[in-house]
């Protein structure tokens, strides 16, 4: 691996892309330390004190920018939500389907719609966070004594921070290496790891540290195994006449990944399960109110929370996989190209076969995602760890998945230039 990195550094084009990517990530991390205008001096020094499920989730995906009340406090989450919703709407709305089939021009229009949707979501979330800070729910009156102008300035700053983060991510994707949005999220998650490690070391419990290290190694190994796992369906192409030439046909395979949905089902399920908690906190009144009792019942880590959480992950995994892979469409394409699966008739039988294979693969991938998402809660409760100390399964899944994708892109760049890459071919 070190040799491959040295090869990449010796290539001027790759070195420029790596440096540009590092510079954009550094700018994003710098913004995480710039405080919001108008907040009190006490809030700037101490940040949010009362951590809970909602603030812990935002803090993890923003690299601590949420708790420190910085200009990037909302991170990139509005853009992710907008992108996922637009992807689902592309399947459901015929006009967007037509745009997606128009190639690069249609994709640019969809990307523009996603940006507008991101702006709207960022503005709404900025208003919600401003109300949250003004209420003193974070343990400190961050906007004590602030007026309408101060509120407006905070809302505009938070919205601008989201759009600037989105712009940095797009610049990385265009001029750097890897998916910019994914790399920004990964950098934010990794930035919280040293603080968690320091807290464990200061606790002085060597046994807990060893157990967590072993569990982390096992989880990472399992994530790599499942993310890289695929079922290869053999495809045979018959000989056919192309002009005056006879094509020889041949045999290839159709790769079907075990985890086609990635981490998106967990993000969807987390958003839905945190919705009662958010409503309860915004309504106030503690556990005396109806919303407060509902929020307490669905407290993250409790049995009433984990069971529907796992069920939603499994449901969304099937739903999003169906959006990503259409067996009927693949069967039709194979039939048009003269390809067939050995022992399976072309057309509808091929579609039924692919659907059966996809259903079995998705079941395993869905159960795996549910286990990875719920495991941190069980570990936190068993080892009596403070909430948010152990990096969640969702965070590990994102970091490992993005790292593998980054290495694959760097691998392909090296192979194009006749350099030995990271992965050894057998």
Whether residue 174 lies inside any domain: the answer is yes
Q: 279-297 as b/e, with b when 16 or more CB fall inside 10 Å?
A: ebbeeeeeeeeebbeebee
Last residue of a domain, one of 192, 213, 245: 192
- What pLDDT score does 336 carry? 83
Whether residue 404 lies inside any domain: the answer is no
Output the DSSP codes for 194-260.
HHHHHHHHHHT-HHHHHHHHHHHHHHHHHHHHHHH-EEEEEEEE--EEETTEEE--EEEEEEEES-S
The highest-confidence range among 198-212, 333-347, 407-421, by mean pLDDT, is 333-347
Whether 26 and 174 share a structural domain: yes
Dist CA 126 CA 159 (whole Å): 6
- What pLDDT score does 292 carry? 62
- Mean pLDDT of all residues belonging to the chain: 79
- What pLDDT score does 389 carry? 52
Whether 361 and 236 share a structural domain: yes
Residues forming a β-bridge with 340: 236
Whether 148 and 285 share a structural domain: no
Query: Can you read off the two tokens belonging to residue 9?
Result: 């550094």
| pLDDT (average), residues 69-98 | 84
- What pLDDT score does 41 carry? 67
Whether 244 and 176 share a structural domain: no
| pLDDT (average), residues 69-97 | 84
Give the confidence band of 357 by pLDDT, cuts at 50, 70, 90: very high
From residue 74, give the alpha-carbon distance in Å to each of 84, 90, 264, 305, 405: 17, 26, 19, 25, 25
Which range (16-20, 35-39, 270-274) has the least confidence?
270-274
Please say whether the beta carbons of 388 and 58 come within 8 A: no
Q: What is the pLDDT of residues 173-205, one digit of tens each?
A: 888 888 888 888 888 888 877 777 777 777 656
Dist CA 169 CA 114 (whole Å): 14
Half-sphere exposure of 348 (CA within 13 A, CB side): 0
Whether 18 and 109 share a structural domain: yes
From residue 213, give the alpha-carbon distance in Å to each of 41, 135, 197, 209, 239: 39, 40, 10, 6, 55
State which residues form the domain around 139. Answer: 14-192
Whether 188 and 235 share a structural domain: no
- What pLDDT score does 426 carry? 45
Q: Check whether 53 has a pLDDT greater than 60.
A: no
Please say whether the beta carbons of 365 and 320 come within 8 A: no
Q: Check whether 167 has a pLDDT greater than 50.
A: yes
Give the confidence band of 319 by pLDDT, cuts at 50, 70, 90: confident
Whether 178 and 245 share a structural domain: no
Whether residue 9 lies inside any domain: the answer is no
Whether residue 93 lies inside any domain: the answer is yes
Whether residue 397 lies inside any domain: the answer is no
Whether residue 210 lies inside any domain: the answer is no
Dist CA 191 CA 194 (whole Å): 7
- What pLDDT score does 214 carry? 84
Residues forming a β-bridge with 342: none
The highest-confidence range among 92-101, 263-272, 345-354, by mean pLDDT, is 345-354
Which range (256-270, 276-290, 303-317) has the least confidence?
276-290
Whether 174 and 238 share a structural domain: no
Whether residue 422 lies inside any domain: the answer is no
Share of the chain above pLDDT 90, in %: 14
Least Cα distance to 53 among 291, 384, 400, 302 occurs for 302
Please say whether the beta carbons of 235 and 334 come within 8 A: yes
CATH of residue 65: 1.10.3370.10
Look at residue 35 and give its three-state secondary structure. Answer: strand
Instruction: Count up the domains in the chain and report the number.
Output: 2
Whether 188 and 228 share a structural domain: no
Q: 28-50 as b/e, with b when 16 or more CB fall inside 10 Å?
A: bbebbeebbebbbeebeebbbee
- What pLDDT score does 415 carry? 76
Whether 69 and 178 share a structural domain: yes
Give the confidence band of 367 by pLDDT, cuts at 50, 70, 90: very high
Whether residue 399 lies inside any domain: the answer is no
Q: What is the pLDDT of residues 374-420, one digit of tens each?
A: 877 777 666 666 554 545 667 788 888 888 888 888 877 777 766 55
pTM exceeds 0.85:
no
Look at residue 70 and give its three-state secondary structure. Answer: strand
- 254 versus 323: the higher-pLDDT residue is 254
Dist CA 388 CA 377 (whole Å): 10
Last residue of a domain, one of 177, 192, 207: 192
- What pLDDT score does 314 carry? 92
Whether 234 and 319 share a structural domain: yes
Last residue of a domain, one of 142, 172, 192: 192
Whether 229 and 291 share a structural domain: yes
């Amino acid at each position: 691996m070190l040799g491959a990195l040295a090869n990449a550094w010796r290539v001027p084009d790759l070195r420029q892309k790596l440096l540009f990517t590092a510079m954009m990530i550094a700018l994003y991390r710098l913004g995480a330390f710039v405080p919001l205008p108008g907040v009190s001096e006490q809030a700037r020094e101490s940040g949010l004190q009362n951590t809970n499920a909602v603030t812990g989730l935002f803090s993890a995906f923003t690299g601590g920018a949420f708790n420190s009340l910085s200009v990037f406090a909302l991170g990139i989450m509005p853009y992710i939500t907008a992108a996922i919703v637009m992807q689902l709407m592309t399947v459901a709305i015929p006009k967007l389907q037509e745009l997606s089939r128009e190639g690069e021009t249609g994709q640019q229009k969809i990307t523009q719609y996603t940006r507008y949707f991101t702006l709207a979501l960022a503005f709404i979330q900025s208003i919600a966070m401003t109300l949250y800070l003004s209420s003193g729910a974070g343990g400190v009156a961050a906007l004590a004594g602030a007026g309408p102008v101060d509120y407006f300035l905070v809302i505009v700053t938070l919205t601008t921070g989201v759009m600037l983060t989105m712009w940095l991510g797009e610049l990385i994707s265009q001029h750097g290496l890897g998916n910019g949005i994914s790399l920004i999220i990964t950098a934010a998650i990794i930035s919280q790891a040293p603080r968690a490690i320091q807290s464990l070391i200061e606790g002085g419990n060597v046994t807990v540290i060893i157990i967590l290290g072993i569990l982390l190694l096992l989880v990472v190994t399992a994530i790599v195994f499942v993310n890289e796992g695929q079922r290869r369906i053999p495809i045979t192409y018959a000989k056919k006449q192309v002009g005056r030439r006879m094509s020889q046909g041949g045999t290839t395979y159709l790769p079907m990944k075990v985890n086609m949905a990635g981490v998106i089902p967990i993000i969807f399920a987390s958003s839905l399960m945190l919705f009662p908690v958010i409503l309860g906190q915004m309504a106030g009144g503690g556990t005396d109110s109806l919303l407060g009792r509902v929020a307490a019942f669905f407290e993250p880590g409790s049995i009433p929370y984990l069971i529907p959480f796992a069920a939603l992950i499994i449901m969304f995994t099937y739903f999003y996989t169906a959006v990503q892979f259409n067996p009927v469409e693949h069967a039709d394409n194979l039939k048009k190209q003269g390809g067939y699966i050995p022992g399976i008739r072309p057309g509808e039988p091929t579609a039924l076969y692919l659907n059966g294979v996809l259903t079995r693969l998705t079941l395993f991938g869905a159960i795996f995602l549910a286990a990875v998402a719920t495991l941190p809660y069980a570990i936190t409760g068993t080892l009596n760890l403070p909430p948010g100390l152990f990096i969640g399964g969702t965070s590990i899944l994102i970091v490992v998945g993005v790292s593998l994708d980054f290495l694959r892109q760097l691998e392909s760049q090296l192979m194009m230039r006749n350099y030995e890459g990271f992965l050894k071919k057998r």
